[in-house]
Every structure is written in structure tokens, then in C-alpha cells.
Structure 1
Amino acid sequence: MAQSRDGGNPFADPGELDNPFQDPAVIQHRPSPQYATLDVYNPFETREPPPAYEPSSAPAPLPPPVAPSLQSSRKLSPAEPKNYGSYSTQASAAAATAELLKKQEELNRKAEELDRRERELQHAALGGAAPRQNNWPPLPSFCPVQPCFFQDISMEIPHEFQKTVSTMYYLWICSTLALLLNFLACLASFCVETSNGSGFGLSILWILLFTPCSFVCWYRPMYKAFRSDSSFNFFVFFFIFFVQDVIFVLQAIGIPGWGFSGWISALVLVGPNPAVAVLMLLVALFFTGIAVLGIVMLKRIHSLYRRTGASFQKAQQEFAAGVFSNPAVRTAAANAAAGAAENAFRTP
């Protein structure tokens, strides 16, 4: 078999070209300096070859932005917050959640208070209730006089009445401060006008008399009434505090010679001594505010009393039970009965 020239294909026909790449159609489209690459070659194109590639100095265009629908369809990471609606919807949902949390906290607080009271009652029923140490008035340990009462509004008073009891406690403190300022104003009046000595003496009596008596006579009955829902203590409070309100009004009026630096006593000294008159006017304003607050609190406590189901018959029953349960009263009654029986046997 004849070999082809120049190391050609030995199986090719004599008339066939030794190199198929020498075909004029291929040679025509062989890479040349006019073409930058073979990617532009299209064997099915019969038109003229495209122009030569020229590198452009302009920057490549940015890719088109991703459509919002594609962004929204992507998966969110666990730490990324989710969008559940518009801003108004989220705000209303947050407000509703906050309201529910507030109500839940209030219910939990009431439940804890009920549990604490139930444990105290069970402990007292078993006879293990330890006596509470008195804490009012708050006196230092080195003082020879010890506290006389136990008072803890947050522990002994139900939650719905704590604000009312606290307001009455602050009212008592304000009335005490007003009596102290009244004493100072009467002292100043006595210093500039010696004829006001009776008012100064009465101001000392009022501060020594009203300060402890007001606490014992109307504040403590009100405290015990709300603590144990006592109708008897409610009646004692209403009667005494009504008299206290009348005294508040008289203090605000300030009749000369009564020991009260009210409006009348202050206006009398406006001309002779304006400085003392200004001090007495401040005290009169203080007395007026206390009188107004006392009347408002009397009406509020009366409305609370009507809602508790208390009555005069219940107050009588509590009074009778308290009297007969007192050991001193029982001892006196037993001694009286024994003496009467002994006298009856001795009588012929």
C-alpha cells in the first residue's frame, strides 16, 4: 500500500488530500489577527465576517437589581425578625400583649396575696401564730418608750383598699404638720402682739391633744375596718371622723382666740404685721386643703363601706361578741353573778 506524502494518512485514497484541514473552506475561517477568538465563528453564516474586536474602555454595566418578589421569596434566618403585617397592626398587637401581661401580673399579685393570707390563717388555726412585734411609731431602740401598734399596709390591708388607707395615713401626717405650723404661726403672732397669748396657749394644747387622739380615734378604727371588714370599726370611724372634719373646717376659718391660724386670724394681722399675716395665710391654706381632702375621703370610704355589705346589725353583733369575748368583761360578769347569788342565799 502506498504511503502518503509527508507522513500522511496511509488509508487515504490517492486523489484525497493528505491533510483534511487543508480544505479551502476551513482555511478560509482559520484564526487570523482580524479575529480575537473563535467564539465568533458561525459555520452557518454566509454573510461577511464581523469586524475586528476592539476592547472598550467603558466599565461593564451593573447587573439588574433583583426583583422584590425574589427577595421576598428567599428564606429568612432564625435570628431575622419576620414581618407579620403593617405598622398599625403590629402596634395594636403590641398594645394588646402589654395589656394582657399587665392583667396577668395583677392576677398573679392577687393570687400571691390570697395564698399568703391563707397560710397565715392556717398557721393561726394550728396555734402557731407568733405575736407580731409592734413597729409604730418608729422609735429608735435606745428610746425608753417602745412602739405601741403594728402597722403594715401592704401585708394586712387587701390590695384594692391599700391606696385608700395610705391616703388616710398621709392625711393624718398632714394634719399633724399643719398643727405644728399653726403652733409656729401662733407663736409669731404672740411675739408681735402680746394680747394673743390665749391663742398661743391653745395651739400648744391642740398639737398635744389632736396628734395622738386623731391617730387612735379615727385612723386606727379605719385601718382595722379595712383589715378585717369590721362593721363596728366602720361606724366608729364615721362618727369620729365626721367630728374631725368639722374641726378641720374650724381650723381653716380661724376664729380669733381659738388657737387656729385660719383665714380670719390671718386677715386681722394683714395691716399691723404683714409678715406674720403671710405665715398665717399659708397655714390657713394648708388647713383648707386638709378639710377638703377629709370631706372627699369621708365620702369615698362611705361608698366603699356600702359595697362591702356591712350593716348596723352586723356592727351590733361584732360589738356584743367583742365585749363577751373580753377576759376582763367575763371576769367582772362572773364576779357580779357570784356576788348576786351569794347575797340571795344570805338574805332570809
Structure 2
Amino acid sequence: MAQSRDGGNPFPDSGELDNPFQDPTVIQHRPSQQYATLEVYNPFENREPPPAYTPPTPAPATLPPPSAPAVQSSRKLSPAEPKNYGSYSTQASAAAATAELLKKQEELNRKAEELDRRERELQHVALGGTGTRQNNWPPLPSFCPVQPCFFQDISMEIPQEFQKTVSTMYYLWMCSTVALLLNFLACLARFCVDTSSGSGFGLSLLWLLLFTPCSFVCWYRPMYKAFRSDSSFNFFVFFFIFFVQDVFFVLQAIGIPGWGFSGWVCALVVVKDNTAVAVLMLLVALLFTGIAVLGIVMLKRIHSLYRRTGASFQKAQQEFAAGVFSNPAVRTAAANAAAGAAENAFRAP
């Protein structure tokens, strides 16, 4: 039987157990004036406006001591002022590298041009060799009955390292031709002033008609073929004939009276008779002098190039023998001579 509450019943009544909010731990957390809840909390009630914003006071700048070096402030460079991208050694190395690259580029371009020239030459050979190429020198019009006699293309047939030398010799030949023409006109003018100089006028015409084609065939073409095919035989022919040509250049510049050359001596002699003719002859003498000097210089230069190519007199002899025996006319004549000699030997008693 249950005991009463006052009598020390340890079990509470059923009514107290049915109400969980009567627990002291819950009752002490009920809303009160001391604890604000969400229902009674008003964020806009009794709220003061925030204070106005005041920027912070910057700290005073401290100047460096007088003994410390002042740091140079950065400034904007003007367009005309050069920029410093590094030390002098760095710039020098960059410039040297650039120069080396440019040098290699020039060498590659030169090799490309050489390969292009050889390719064009091989194409010509594939089409039939030199026989299919049309001659283009001298450049004559199509209606002229005389056709060109030679094929000449310095950029295609001559190696690039020798093109400048061959072109200079070609210009030298043209200058000598022009000088002979002016020499003929100067001698003609002198003959008009002094009829006793008819022999000089006749020789000047002979030199013009003789030296113009012979110089091209006898020393320019051997030089051209020597550089084209590295021929020792043509080098020797050129050296021999062009040396004689240089001697004539010197004689033309001197101008011995009666030889048909309007050189310095003849020009000084004519000064007493006619000043205008003397001035013309002096110009021709000056042109002859320049040609003579250039001819001597080019002879020495080509000789130095010849020594670097490895040519020799024995090689020239071999080329000459090979060229003679490869000629069909020479082979036919030699065969006929041998057949005739053998027939005579059998017929002999």
C-alpha cells in the first residue's frame, strides 16, 4: 500500500509526472525580464546611430639620415633616350651573337644561290647540254643576219665566289672597247686639224677593228671558261694573252706619236696646235691609264685565285691532251695518218 507524501513516499503522484514543464531545470529557463528571447528582442529599439567615419591620420614620413645616400626615384625615359637593358658585357655578347647569326644567314643565302645555279645548270644538261642552249652574245636583234656566237650567263655558269671577278673583267673589256672608239674619234679630230697625222688615224681604226673582237675571244673567253670549269689550260692561255694585252694598255696610255694611240705624249704635242683636240686626247689618255692600272691589278688577283684552286702546268698539259684527242677531227686525222703509215709499211719491199 502506498505511503503518503508526507510520510516519505519516494514516488510522486501521477499528476506531477504527467507535466514535464514542472521540472526545476526547465522552470529556471523560462522567459523573464533578465533573459531576452526572440519574441521580445527588437533590434531597432533604443539603437544609437554609428559614429561618422574618420580617416586614419597618416604617420609622419621619416627622412633618411644625411649620411645615407638618397635613392634615385624612377623617371620616365624619353623616346630619344636609349634604354639600358643590361650591363655592357651583356649588350656586347648580344651584339656579337647577332653578328654571328647574320654571317651564318649570308652564308646560307650564298649556298642557296649556288645550289640554285647548279640546279639550273643540271636542268640545261638534262635538256641536252650546251648544244640546246641558244647563244645570247653578242646581243643582236632578231632581224640581224648575223646571229650571236657565244652563250654567256655569269650568274648561272660561274661559281658565286668568282662572279665578281668575271664581271669586273667583262666591264674591263667593255671599257677598253669604249676607249678604242674614243681613241679613233680623237685621232680623227687630230687628222682634221693636222693632215700629216694620217698614219695615226689609220692605225687607230685598225686597233679598233682588231682589238675589239680579238680581246674578247683571246683573253676574256679563256678566263670565263677557266672559272666556269676550273680549267688549268684556259688559265694559262689567259695569263699569256692578257699579259700582252696589259703591255698594249701601257703603250696606249703613253701614246707614242705615229702609233695610233692618243696617249699622254700625243696629247701634250697637240696642245700647241689645237686646245680642244688636246683636251679630248687627254681624256682618252686618262681612260687608257685607268684601264692599264685596272688590268695589272686584275691580272695579279686572278693569278692569286688560280694558285688557290690547285691548278698546275701538268694539269694543263693533261687537259690539253684530253681536249685534242677528244676532238673528232683530230681523231680522224690521226687515224688516217696511222692507216697510211701502216699501208706504206706493208707495201715497202
TM-score by length of 2: 0.73
Give distance in 1, aligned partners of 2:3 and 2:70.
69
User: What is the identity percentage for the equivalent residue pairs of Structure 1 and Structure 2?
Assistant: 90
1:138-186 deviation line (CA, Å, top 9, x unaligned): 1111111111111111111111111111110000000000000000000
Give distance in 1, aligned partners of 2:132 and 2:72.
71
Cα pair distance change 1:73/1:347, threshold 3 Å: same
Q: Which moved more, 1:263-272 or 1:124-133?
A: 124-133
Cα pair distance change 1:149/1:58, threshold 3 Å: same
Asked whether the equivalents of residues 136 and 151 of structure 2 are also in contact (C-alpha less than 8 Å), the reply is yes
User: Please, what is the CA RMSD of the aligned residues?
Assistant: 11.4
1:293-333 deviation line (CA, Å, top 9, x unaligned): 00011011111111111000000000000000001100111
1:79-106 deviation line (CA, Å, top 9, x unaligned): 9999853699558635642551343233
Asked whether the equivalents of residues 34 and 51 of structure 1 are also in contact (C-alpha less than 8 Å), the reply is no
Asked whether the equivalents of residues 154 and 167 of structure 2 are also in contact (C-alpha less than 8 Å), the reply is yes
Q: Does 1:320 align with 2:330?
A: no
Q: Which moved more, 1:15-24 or 1:179-188?
A: 15-24
Which residue of structure 1 aligns with residue 27 of structure 2? 27
Asked whether the equivalents of residues 254 and 263 of structure 1 are also in contact (C-alpha less than 8 Å), the reply is yes
Q: Which moved more, 1:259-268 or 1:89-98?
A: 89-98
Give distance in 1, aligned partners of 2:165 and 2:4.
123
Q: Which moved more, 1:282-291 or 1:11-20?
A: 11-20
- The offset of 1:63, in angstroms, is 22
Give distance in 2, aligned partners of 1:8 and 1:48.
58
- The offset of 1:288, in angstroms, is 0.4
Give distance in 2, aligned partners of 1:346 and 1:274.
79
Which residue of structure 1 aligns with residue 62 of structure 2? 61
Cα pair distance change 1:32/1:244, threshold 3 Å: farther
1:257-314 deviation line (CA, Å, top 9, x unaligned): 1000001101001111111111101100000000000001101111111111100000
1:117-152 deviation line (CA, Å, top 9, x unaligned): 267459748967762111111111111111111111
Q: Which moved more, 1:111-120 or 1:73-82?
A: 73-82
- The offset of 1:9, in angstroms, is 46
Q: Which moved more, 1:279-288 or 1:131-140?
A: 131-140
- The offset of 1:4, in angstroms, is 47
Count of aligned pairs between the two proteins: 347
Which residue of structure 2 aligns with residue 48 of structure 1? 48
Cα pair distance change 1:268/1:337, threshold 3 Å: same
- The offset of 1:34, in angstroms, is 38
1:55-81 deviation line (CA, Å, top 9, x unaligned): 999999999999999999999999999
Q: Which moved more, 1:114-123 or 1:320-329?
A: 114-123
Asked whether the equivalents of residues 136 and 148 of structure 1 are also in contact (C-alpha less than 8 Å), the reply is yes
Larger Rg, first or second structure (1 or 2): 2
Give distance in 2, aligned partners of 1:313 and 1:143.
44
- The offset of 1:341, in angstroms, is 1.5
Give distance in 1, aligned partners of 2:10 and 2:188.
144
Give distance in 1, aligned partners of 2:261 and 2:310.
39
- The offset of 1:345, in angstroms, is 2.1
Cα pair distance change 1:222/1:64, threshold 3 Å: farther
Cα pair distance change 1:65/1:137, threshold 3 Å: farther
TM-score by length of 1: 0.73
Asked whether the equivalents of residues 120 and 156 of structure 2 are also in contact (C-alpha less than 8 Å), the reply is no
- The offset of 1:251, in angstroms, is 0.3
Which residue of structure 2 aligns with residue 8 of structure 1? 8
Give distance in 2, aligned partners of 1:8 and 1:172.
151
- The offset of 1:107, in angstroms, is 2.0
Asked whether the equivalents of residues 199 and 256 of structure 1 are also in contact (C-alpha less than 8 Å), the reply is yes
- The offset of 1:49, in angstroms, is 17
Cα pair distance change 1:38/1:21, threshold 3 Å: farther
- The offset of 1:111, in angstroms, is 3.9
Q: Which moved more, 1:180-189 or 1:15-24?
A: 15-24
Q: Which moved more, 1:207-216 or 1:27-36?
A: 27-36
Q: Which moved more, 1:218-227 or 1:32-41?
A: 32-41
Where does the alignment leave 5 or more consecutive residues of structure 1 unmatched?
none
Cα pair distance change 1:190/1:346, threshold 3 Å: same
SS at match of 1:238: helix
SS at match of 1:221: helix
Asked whether the equivalents of residues 36 and 52 of structure 1 are also in contact (C-alpha less than 8 Å), the reply is no
Give distance in 1, aligned partners of 2:36 and 2:270.
115
Which residue of structure 2 aligns with residue 329 of structure 1? 330
Cα pair distance change 1:163/1:205, threshold 3 Å: same
Cα pair distance change 1:70/1:121, threshold 3 Å: farther
- The offset of 1:110, in angstroms, is 1.3
Asked whether the equivalents of residues 121 and 157 of structure 2 are also in contact (C-alpha less than 8 Å), the reply is no
SS at match of 1:345: helix
Cα pair distance change 1:115/1:65, threshold 3 Å: farther
Asked whether the equivalents of residues 261 and 281 of structure 1 are also in contact (C-alpha less than 8 Å), the reply is yes
Where does the alignment leave 5 or more consecutive residues of structure 2 unmatched?
none
